Amino acid sequence: MSKLSLGKYLLPTYVFLTFLFLMVPIGYTFVFSFNDSLKSNIIWRGFTFDNWLNVCDQAGVCGAFGNSLLVAITATTVSTVLGTMIAIALVRYRFKFRSSTNLLLFLPLATPEVVMGAGLAAQFLDLGWTKGLTTVIIAHVMFTLSFVVVTVKARVATLDPALEEAGRDLYASPMQVFWKITFPLLLPGVLSAAMLAFALSFDDFIITQFNSGSVDTFPKFVYTAAARGIPPEANVVGSFVFIVAIAIVIAVQVRSARKKRKLLSK
């Protein structure tokens, strides 16, 4: 067999095996969400739709999921707004300690979560704050903010200042220039940053474990339940989140493809 033909089959085989490796846990989660289990969800006992129809029958599943959604949505909103403003300031303006601010924003990206979680827990303890949803939200804002800034900052750097100058030349106010020109151009980057922040927040366990107290989030619930076999209702929630995420990605890709075809047809 020639080197050319070997390379021809090697890459597709590698891609297939990698994809299979990534999809097996997801497939397992989805299949066992239909398992007619008893006390544990380790052994397949039969197919049923009851887990999907009565997902909240398992104590704690829906409450933990609701807490995770509340924390993720709130933290994403706050970090996206603050991160976007910081990104614009760092790219467009020169001010004192600008370089230091850049460095400090990158530090959370390189800091292990266990260190950040323990440090924030110590701060809340020193302040005398009771751990709960509020402390979890603050902690999540702290570690997702850097990801938002980095993502939006890359988008701001690609904007052409001439477009905003044209708006000012046409007597638009600074607010009109921002909302009519700057923000629509930034929107893809802002949305990408928000989706990344939401995924990181919803999925986080380590920082949440240090700062949540008695409040359960979905990752905490799964971790606790794993000792006795994750209940199928937890698999239902995980499968549902995965399906929604895939649907959003497909919708965005289809919309982008349609927009691209319309631009090419003009």
Does 204 fall in a domain?
Answer: yes
User: Based on the domain organization, do 128 and 245 belong to the same domain?
Assistant: no
Q: Give the pLDDT of residue 13.
A: 84
User: Based on the domain organization, do 43 and 149 belong to the same domain?
Assistant: no
The whole-model pTM stands at 0.83
Does 217 fall in a domain?
Answer: yes
Q: What tens digit of pLDDT does each residue of 28-53 get?
A: 888 888 888 766 777 788 888 888 88
The tokens for 258 are 């349609």
Which parts of the chain register pLDDT below 70? 1-7, 38-39, 227-229, 266
213: left (phi over 0), alpha (psi -120 to 50) or beta: left
The tokens for 165 are 């100058």
Count the Cβ atoms, other than its own, within 10 Å of residue 261: 9
Q: Give the pLDDT of residue 27.
A: 87
Does 27 fall in a domain?
Answer: yes
Task: Give the domain extent around 253.
Answer: 1-49+231-266
Give the burial string for 103-141 (b: 16+ CB within 10 Å, else e).
Answer: eebeebeeeebeebbeebbeebeeeeeebeeebbbbbbb
User: Based on the domain organization, do 124 and 214 belong to the same domain?
Assistant: yes
Residue 132: φ, ψ to 5°? -175, -155
Q: Give the pLDDT of residue 137.
A: 94
Does 56 fall in a domain?
Answer: no
Please give the tally of structural domains in the chain. 2
Closest-CA residue to 183 (of 81, 69, 256): 81
C-alpha distances (whole Å) from 141 to each of 27, 111, 235, 242 are 32, 15, 27, 23
Question: Distance between CA atoms of 206 and 6, rounded to whole angstroms?
Answer: 44
Does 55 fall in a domain?
Answer: no
186: left (phi over 0), alpha (psi -120 to 50) or beta: alpha
User: Based on the domain organization, do 225 and 239 belong to the same domain?
Assistant: no
Does 54 fall in a domain?
Answer: no
Question: Distance between CA atoms of 193 and 198, rounded to whole angstroms?
Answer: 9
User: Based on the domain organization, do 108 and 131 belong to the same domain?
Assistant: yes
Q: Where are the beta strands (DSSP E) in 67-201?
A: none
User: Based on the domain organization, do 122 and 219 belong to the same domain?
Assistant: yes
User: Based on the domain organization, do 71 and 195 belong to the same domain?
Assistant: yes
User: Based on the domain organization, do 111 and 27 belong to the same domain?
Assistant: no
Does 143 fall in a domain?
Answer: yes
User: Based on the domain organization, do 235 and 225 belong to the same domain?
Assistant: no
User: Based on the domain organization, do 130 and 254 belong to the same domain?
Assistant: no
Does 57 fall in a domain?
Answer: no
User: Based on the domain organization, do 111 and 226 belong to the same domain?
Assistant: yes
User: Based on the domain organization, do 9 and 127 belong to the same domain?
Assistant: no
Domain containing 83 — which CATH number?
A: 1.10.3720.10
